[in-house]
Structure 1
Amino acid sequence: MATEANLLSTDSVLGGRLTLRQMVSGHRVGHDALLLAAFAPADRRVVVDFGTGVGSAGLAFLARVPDARATLVEIDPGLAALAGENAALNGFGARARVVTGDVASLARPSGPPLPELGAADLVLANPPFNADARHRTSPDAARARAHMADADLLADWTRAADRCLGAKGMICLIHRPEALGDILAVLSRGFGAVEILPVYPRAERPAVRLLVRAVKGRRTPPSILPGLVLSEADGTPTPQAEAVLRDGAALG
């Protein structure tokens, strides 16, 4: 007998440009993955999506950049299987490969054969970012895995990105504003030219997310880009948010 825990929904995002099958309960695709994909420059062609879940960020990038290809990395076998289904569902089967494994093991001799050492020019990273000490863990195991992180995870993912990326490769990540100090610290070990784009729920509110991108091997100081405001005062999407989240426009 089917239960809510094993039911799937089929949902359209990006104004119908992308269709995703995902679990009805647990972690579901939201703005974060779509904003992350929009923040990645379209001149990148070989992409690795860390913590892909059902494939949302990596596949959203492929929908915008038709000659790119992606390796979708997910530690949860069930979500990894859905990522593969979603790649096929959207016609990206020849452009997307799914790897079931821990991001920290990538591009190591003991890790999976893909992605290869130094072969990528873009890493997308949507890491778990609710620190265990400050947030109560969700009783749903998949939701908890997607949202909780230990103190070393961000550094582990940055080191993995460094291994996966070739010279002048780029990492793009999304995180909470309170993690800015940690983000700059870990990126300083091998990355530079950091660009930070704050995301605001409304114009008068503090930022709720930071989009961050950095280039491997660069030493240029960080810069802060004009922010994205998601909603008008009445709750309707702003024109820029609508262009990014519905029309598939690039961001920053």
Structure 2
Amino acid sequence: MAFDADDLSRDLFLGGVLQVSQPKAGYRAGVDPVLLAATVDAMPCDTVLELGCGAGVASLCLAARVPGVTLTGVEMQADYADLARRNAAGNGIKMDVHCADLRHLPDAVLQMNFDHVIANPPYYLRAHGSVAADAGREAALGEVTPLTDWINVATRRLKPKGYLTVIQDAGRLPALLAAIDQRLGGIKILPLAPRIGRPAHLVIVQARKGARAAPQLLAPVVMHEGVAHDGDRESYTSRIRAVLRKGAALTLSGVNTK
């Protein structure tokens, strides 16, 4: 079942480069998928699989920065899968979107291996916290499929030397690292802190299939200027503003704390 036009808003990403339809009530992509896409060091002609692609924001942001990537998305909720297809077509970007549970991928995806697999898995364990009233929002935010399944499926779909990149709540970092087995190495962990002197609230973790390099805990990237919220205004640091408004990369080597 597809969303009705009256139930959707039209939102701008990357300073208006992308126009994306999202449900007015339900899961709405914010900065997280944009940050995820910015850390993917893809080249034109690379193949990219997004698990749990939602409305397609992360994949489309990556394609806007790296034209020529080949995009495949998997999304369990049929209405969001349809929305991802429509958003890709509306922005002139080719993306094959499959409506499927990532634990039961269609043959078309099982027959492929990818240079990059990206994911923004649900952040919250449903043993804790309250369930969202909207079913789509709940499916996007509350974990049903364990992180171990997300990482295992992603790892199996990677080419040798391919990269897995995941954004996750910082509190789930131990579970995320525990889900990564010996098939992946060269792990890089990028903490994202809301302000100077504040604990990280998000982490981006990247690993490479078949790599043997030691893990790296990178210097945190600070999201907002100042030590506290001081008014209703945009306060992103220049580095984050460049990512969100201009589609700049957020590299995981030589990361600048600003």
Aligned to 1:96: 95
Aligned to 1:247: 246
Equivalenced residues, count: 242
User: CA offsets per residue over residues 200-223 of structure 1, 9 Å max, x none?
Assistant: 111121111000100011222210
Paired-residue identity, %? 39
1:113 partner amino acid:
D
Specify every segment of 5 or more residues in structure 1 that has no aligned partner in the other structure, as ranges. Answer: 107-111
Aligned to 2:82: 81
1:147 partner amino acid:
L
1:195 partner amino acid:
K
Q: Secondary structure at the match of 2:246?
A: coil
Return the match for 1:222 from 215, 218, 221: 215
Q: How do 1:1-252 and structure 2 match up within 5 A?
A: 7-43=7-43, 45-92=46-93, 95-106=94-105, 112-150=106-144, 153-233=146-226, 234=230, 236-252=235-251
User: CA offsets per residue over residues 33-73 of structure 1, 9 Å max, x none?
Assistant: 00000011033710001111000111111111101010011
RMSD: 1.8
1:236 partner amino acid:
S
Aligned to 1:109: none
Determine if contact 1:9/1:23 at 8 Å carries over to the other structure: yes
Determine if contact 1:198/1:211 at 8 Å carries over to the other structure: yes
For residues 100 and 219 of structure 1, the distance between their equivalents in structure 2, rounded to whole angstroms, comes to 34
Determine if contact 1:118/1:163 at 8 Å carries over to the other structure: no
TM-score (norm 1): 0.91
For residues 136 and 182 of structure 2, the distance between their equivalents in structure 1, rounded to whole angstroms, comes to 31
Q: Secondary structure at the match of 2:85?
A: helix
Determine if contact 2:166/2:206 at 8 Å carries over to the other structure: yes
TM-score (norm 2): 0.89
Q: Secondary structure at the match of 1:9?
A: strand
Q: Secondary structure at the match of 2:248?
A: coil
1:118 and 1:216, CA in 2 relative to 1: closer, same or farther beyond 3 A?
farther
Shift, 1:189, TM fit: 3.8
For residues 47 and 192 of structure 2, the distance between their equivalents in structure 1, rounded to whole angstroms, comes to 26
User: CA offsets per residue over residues 186-210 of structure 1, 9 Å max, x none?
Assistant: 1124111000111111112111100
